Structure 1
Amino acid sequence: MTTRFTTAFAVLIAAAGSFAARGADASTGAVLIVANEDYASLRDARGARGVVQAEGTFRASGFDVDVATDLGTDALRAALSQLGATLRAGDAQRVIIVFSGYAINAAHGIWLMGTEARAPDFATIESYGVRLETLLALAGQIQGGAVVAIADYGFPVTPGNGFQPGLPGTIDVPQGVTLVHGTGAGVAAFLRDMAAPGTNLGAAASRRSDLEIDGFNPPYLSFLPADWQPAVDAERQAWGSAVDADSVEGYDAYLATYPNGTYAAQAQEARQRLLNTPERIEAALGLSRDERRAIQRDLTILGYDPRGIDGIFGRGTRSAVGAWQGANRFEQTGFLNRDQVFELAQQGARRAAQLESEARERQREQERLDRAFWRDTGSGADEAGMRAYLDRYPDGIFASIAQDRLDQIESQRRAAAQARDRAAWDQAQQADTVLAYRAYLQDFPQGAFADQANTRIEELRRPREPQVDTAAAQAEEDAMHLPAFSKQIIEQRLDRLGLEPGAVDGTFDRQTRRAIRRYQRSADLPVTGYLTPSIVARLMAEGMVDILR
């Protein structure tokens, strides 16, 4: 802790000593507490609102207290201007200015940041924060009875441009003003202690290793005299402030000052009412990003679309939660409690197991039909049988074998074919029309490619199957930005199902795409070879079940 005190302030002590002589019916002083925790573009300064609990303590000591949270720069200036008007009116014997939040310093100044703050430069800094010297100058209007307390939360990003996070090591403080700065917890404790009659500021600060005190700090002067008696209705005022705020923090502030007060039971009841809102109940669960993703997967598996499995509970997820709650006779709040999280997980696990069982049964039946057709078409012994097999089962169990053998036959046929025959066949393939293949057969009725020409004519005459929009399917999969470890879990699941996805390496190749198409057929889904959010949810859920077995 750093403490500075010079004899130049001795002239102020006599004036400060007159505090004890002032009547108890006068206002103790003015207090402004600004707590900036919720920043629009920066990570929140979590815990910054802790200083607000000092409100009740100061009111109990007779101070007029103004509390403001999450102020932008202009609003912060307006609050300081209003305090300045109060001080100019001459009603305040003492002034306490408290700021809790982010701060930045540079060679030419120190700024306390409004909630719209971003990483500044010299051109924008004044629009993002208020200079500390403004607070010190304002407090300096009541020399010897002025305290400025700063709960310094630093700055959450590296500011650059010559700026440094937080307060600097050395701060110039005007005559007659006490500056206390440090951690949020330290400043909150200091504020609580300093409001007690007979407390010396330096002694209160020295009890905390996370505080520093600069400026006016006489070793033998109490901020409030030991015999100070605040107004009789201080508790009523504290209760009125708590009721006006109607917040957990407001009732906590009242109870911290009056744990056995007249309105303690009402404060506890009101506080519990606020804590029992669906939003707070869910927030108290402290769900991690992964736990939120698991909830979204369960909703997807159960048929409630959360519009993404990203761990962010937006309107889509809230709507899905509400629909699930309604279907299960819960109040449709869109927010979950602990029992509902467990119930949802159990339902998701049961549905995942059911889908897995159905998929396995379909796969077994498809494999039985696959093997039977392979056997009926000659088990790969003749070209026509293999082509018939591939026509029905392009991704079948024996597809690789059939294709390899046909490739060999094609290679042998092309090698044996005469140049004219081959040229005519290539020309027919390039045109790929019924007329082109008929022309080839007319010229080469016994040609090396006659069987293929007849097969292709039949294919062209056959009604076309609906074309899959491969580009759209690929774009839908790409939009999920699946990480490598998720792809590996999916490949492991496909491999466990016997769908032969190839190497389990987090990279989707031709074998993986074929395995996905096999899975889609077994699950009675559109066959594209690309993943959708619902398929990912099922495969991930089934994959996690495999891992936990």
Structure 2
Amino acid sequence: MRLEFTTAAAALLVALAPGIALANSALVVGNDAYAEAPRMPDAADALDAVPALEDAEFTVISGANLDADTLRARLNRLLEREDGSGPAVVLLSGRFARAAHDSWFLGTGADAPGLARVGAEGLSLETVMEIAARTPGRAVILLGHDDTEFEPGEGLEPGIGRLDIPQGVTVIRGPADRIARFAAEELTVRGRSLAVALESQDRLTAEGFLAAETDFLPEPDGDRTGDAELERNATQAGFWSAAQAVDTEDAYNAYLDRYPDGRFAADARNRIQEMRDAPRREAQQAERGLQLSRATRHAIQENLVELGYDTRGTEGVFGAGTRGAIQAWQSANGEEPTSYLTADQIARIEAQADRRRAEAEDEQRARREREEQQERAYWEETGKKGDAAGLRAYLERYPDGLFSGVAEGRLDEIEAREGTGFDREERGLWREVRRENTAEAYRRYLDRYPDGAFALQAETRLAELDPDGSDGTAARSPEEVERAMGLSKTSRTLIERRLAALGYQPGQVDGEFTGRTRDAIRRYQERNGLEITGYVSAALTSRMLAGAAAGIFNE
């Protein structure tokens, strides 16, 4: 008993294509009398199938000797009948014409239309098959013809050409009388598959969907035999056949939704995986065909890194990191994310990376120009004026600047003349420390020159780089923050001197922070938008040094 395929196919169709479904409907046309072509008496036999189809519970739309317009109108009526519960049959018997990519069933009014006009004077079989494909696994197209020669017009030949049959559609063709007999006597037999029905039909040719285990028409309820288990198995087999006919991921997923542990579940999952893997396998083979050298792979990796994708190495070997980077690039650039490259994609990556490098170079060039302009402007306001304070200020900010050599030479002359110069060795060490700009470097300077000329700057920068202090203990209060800076007496004196110069009245300038000093610090913090604590912090000394470091050391 195999009625269950009807339910399975209908359920699958509802899941996959709920829009239009042909159901228990048939279109039967016999065109035997043509105005400008030989008669075809056997074509009229097609109408003999109408009673048998109606007995099989089909709603039949039929007609004889129809012109092209009437043919299209009848086909449209077939489309309008839908309930998603049964099969569909289209039987066309008469004259056919063919070209390279399509064939047409001619209306009786066709007058050697030729390729240019055949669409208006006939019914495209491609259109008929497309309509039938809306009921995959349950649609049969029967085409009756004969071998009589006639002239269909320029660009056409008589007969039916090669058909590109959609999935799930069965096309049966042969002599008009045999097609009519098959439709009336074999097609409507219940409980039998089309494959079985065609076994004795040696003059008929069947193409497209043919499933030996799937009955075209179910047995009536009274003829059912077997137990519930057989019925369930038959239903599942029918559903699986319908899924194979459609052969899409959605179709196989519909089967798995209904039968997650069914007989064909493993096959469904394997087929889904095959569909998903197919593009990847093809891409892999295509990349192998490129025969990329290690140097080329290295260049590709560098280009991906330039574009911001992490390849986890650029040694010229495409591992998991590189494949992930390629896949990410493909996704971001509208390509199929296979993780394997084509020649066009390699060229795109290279072009994008070259553009990114050019943009980076332009940005660096512009930044260097801005920085140079800023340095020149700073030089104009400090070192170029020729005084020791300005020269020191310039060298503090630009120890290796455009004018550092000139500034050092002039400063040496001034210090030698005035006898107030800093230790040249100390200044040299300070320049090295500034270049390194690490906590270790600043500690090295302070170890050697705890009361040196640049001690305050070193202590300030060290506090910024290592706020927890060298012993790793986090400062949790303003007092602990100041203590962690390790200010020498010289540094405290410089801070007091700067506060006094700015009018904050810190009291005696002696390196001892008294209550008046704390008040002065608070006033300075309040005036400069800093946290008001009365204790020195890296932010406070940085602010003091930012615009007046030279003044501090010149007082």
Please give the TM-score of this superposition, normalised by the length of structure 1.
0.36
Please say which structure displays the higher CA radius of gyration. 2
